[in-house]
């Protein structure tokens, strides 16, 4: 089960507005707000939930099922290249 909090967090990770998500899914803005307005199971139809989950999944979000720490969401892939730390050169003054 995907929670309203997960939907809200997923949209935030993608930097999508409610209007943009409504446009992608064809759902009314009020339907999306109602779905995101709960920490538990959203009060929307299964068909609408499938539309939301599919649109967010396609956009790059992975929904993490609840475990002992609770449910979660993350981006599927990061387009950020990790920065390699520079090696610190030992200064001659450091030894004195």
Measure the CA–CA gap between 73 and 71, rounded to whole angstroms. Answer: 7
In a domain, 41, yes or no: yes
Instruction: Please calculate the CA angle 14-9-84 and round it to the nearest 5 degrees.
Output: 60
Q: In 38-89, which ranges are E strands? A: 61-67, 70-75
In a domain, 96, yes or no: no
Q: What is the CATH number of the domain that holds 51?
A: 1.10.260.40
In a domain, 95, yes or no: no
pTM of the model: 0.77
Q: In the chain, how many domains are there?
A: 1
Boundaries of domain holding 53: 4-75
Q: Which residues of the chain have pLDDT under 70?
A: 78-96
In a domain, 84, yes or no: no
Let me know: does 27 contact 72? Beta carbons within 8 Å. no
In a domain, 36, yes or no: yes
In a domain, 59, yes or no: yes
User: Tens digit of pLDDT for each residue in 57-73?
Assistant: 999 999 999 999 999 99
């Amino acid at each position: 089960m995907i929670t309203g909090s997960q939907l809200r967090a997923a949209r935030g990770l993608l930097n999508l507005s409610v209007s943009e998500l409504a446009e992608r899914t064809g759902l009314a803005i009020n339907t999306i707000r109602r779905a995101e307005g709960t920490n538990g199971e959203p009060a929307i139809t299964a068909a609408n939930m499938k539309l939301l989950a599919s649109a967010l999944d396609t956009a790059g979000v992975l929904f993490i099922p609840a475990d002992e720490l609770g449910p979660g969401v993350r981006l599927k892939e990061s387009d950020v290249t990790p920065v390699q730390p520079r090696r610190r050169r030992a200064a001659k003054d450091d030894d004195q």
